[in-house]
Amino acid sequence: MTSSLMTEFESIYHSPATTLSSAPGRVNIIGEHTDYSDGFVLPCSLEFCTKVLYRKRADNLVVVHSTNYPGESDSFDVSGDITHGSSQWGNYIRAMAFVIKRAGHTLGGVDVLIDSDVPQGSGLSSSAALEVAIGGMFSESSSLNLSAEKIALLGQEAENDFMDCQCGIMDQMISAKGEPGSALMIDCRDLSTKSIKIPEDLSIVIVNSNYPRKLVDSEYNQRRIDCEQAAKKMNVAMLRDANLELLAQSREQLTAVEYKRAHHVITENQRVMDAMSALASNDIKTLRQLMSASHNSLRDDFEVTVAATDGLVEICQQVLGDNGAARMTGGGFGGAIVCLCRAEDVSRIKQAVSEQYFDRFQLTADIYVCNAGSGLKVEQLEPLPA
């Protein structure tokens, strides 16, 4: 925790912050677009995180500033109906207040300063990190004692019902429950988790394409509808309950698009199961095959990649050969790719991306070498020395 952030809080609110709630961004190793079909995912939380410093107020106002949006602020009264405001990012805080109140809780006022190093709009889920950190704050400041899982579920509701993005539960669950040094297999039906230690000699490299994302929410919501339609026509509750045999039998009933979407989800769920064992046994060759198949399925069947992320995956796969794995990560339509490799190959990835990516796509990528960081934490702050 940096003292400059505490100083900034004090200069905005003229009183020191008392508490810090922090929640991480995430990278998904495998299991993409499976969460909203009740499937399996294998993400890990990052050390990039969103910090929420706060102090309770005597009234019912929530006042928010963010170091990522200097000069902007939002404030709203939590005793009345929570409606949308004019600040785009402020609406995420309103969204959390809205769903927590809807669940029957009473909230009190807080002064809030947000600070985050999670890249925004890159598929590393800065929105879930923000929702979960704000959920942790409201839970503590209003003495609600919400569990990490409950905060994750409320974060998803906030995104679905207030922010109009029909995301699944993965991002909020991993942000709330991630563990340092481990990936978490999440069963998105019963929300049970299994943690898998990331082998010490395996590096996680994220390459952000910086491709300008467009129409992400509408495309995303359409994928969800396609999956629901396919499940309905196959007479199963969710695609989680389907298999390739049933898919083959149902081919006539499905449109070509529904067939492809279902094919991705069914095969991806199996790849998560296989990747879990491969990761636990540090079997990089199998991880390479699985992550490559996942990427191809997201490109051809689910149609959520763009040329820039396909190109980055190609560049990294070529450099890594059999010694590393690469695929797009996150919702797609741009965003980032993730590579798993040995430490000595990291500099080769950096070199290949800098030599080839700009030439091919006229974009500059950002590369982060990451460790799995901690999930949601809420801690009391020591006052700064006078």
Q: Please list the active-site residues.
A: 171
HSE (CB half, 13 Å, CA atoms) of 112?
32
Asked whether 96 and 154 are in contact (CB, 8 A), the reply is yes
10 Å CB burial of residue 323 (0-12, 13-18, 19+) is middle
Q: Does residue 160 bind Mg ion (CB under 5 A)? A: no
Q: Does residue 127 bind Mg ion (CB under 5 A)? A: yes
| Interface region with Mg ion, contact rule CB under 5 A, candidates 32-40, 81-89, 125-133, 257-265 | 125-133
DSSP 68: T
Considering only 50, 166, 294, 317, the residue that binds ligand ADP (CB under 6 A) is: 50
Q: Per the structure block, which two tokens stand in for 260?
A: 């492809």
Residues 6+ positions from 282 with CB-CB distance below 8 Å: 199, 201, 202
Q: Does residue 291 bind ligand ADP (CB under 6 A)? A: no
Q: What's the closest the beta carbon of residue 29 comes to ligand ADP, in angstroms? A: 16
Q: Per the structure block, which two tokens stand in for 294?
A: 């996942």
Residues in region 169-228 near ligand ADP by CB under 6 A: none
| Interface region with ligand ADP, contact rule CB under 6 A, candidates 84-92, 247-255, 318-326, 336-344 | 84-92
Residue 36 has φ and ψ, to the nearest 5°, of -80, 5
181 binds, among Mg ion, ligand ADP, none (CB under 5 to 8 A by kind): none
Site track for Mg ion across 283-312, x = CB under 5 A: ------------------------------
Q: Does residue 69 bind ligand ADP (CB under 6 A)? A: yes
Considering only 114, 170, 188, 266, the residue that binds ligand ADP (CB under 6 A) is: 114
Q: Does residue 66 bind ligand ADP (CB under 6 A)? A: yes
Q: Does residue 54 bind ligand ADP (CB under 6 A)? A: no
Facing residues of 202 across strands? 342
Q: Does residue 329 bind Mg ion (CB under 5 A)? A: no
Residues 6+ positions from 85 with CB-CB distance below 8 Å: 74, 76, 91, 94
Asked whether 164 and 186 are in contact (CB, 8 A), the reply is no
Nearest to 140 by CA among 378, 376, 375, 374: 378
Q: Per the structure block, which two tokens stand in for 203?
A: 């590096």
Q: How many residues sit in the footprint of ligand ADP (CB under 6 A)?
A: 18
Q: Per the structure block, which two tokens stand in for 35?
A: 């969460």
Specify the residue for token string 């029909």: 166
| Interface region with ligand ADP, contact rule CB under 6 A, candidates 85-93, 240-248, 270-278, 300-308 | 85-93
Considering only 108, 121, 180, 181, the residue that binds ligand ADP (CB under 6 A) is: 121
Which position's Cβ is nearest Mg ion? 127
Q: Does residue 127 bind ligand ADP (CB under 6 A)? A: yes
Q: What's the closest the beta carbon of residue 68 comes to ligand ADP, in angstroms? A: 4
Q: How far apart are CA 86 and CA 90, in angstroms?
A: 8
Interface residues with ligand ADP (CB under 6 A) are 50, 66, 68-69, 88-89, 92, 114, 116, 120-127, 130
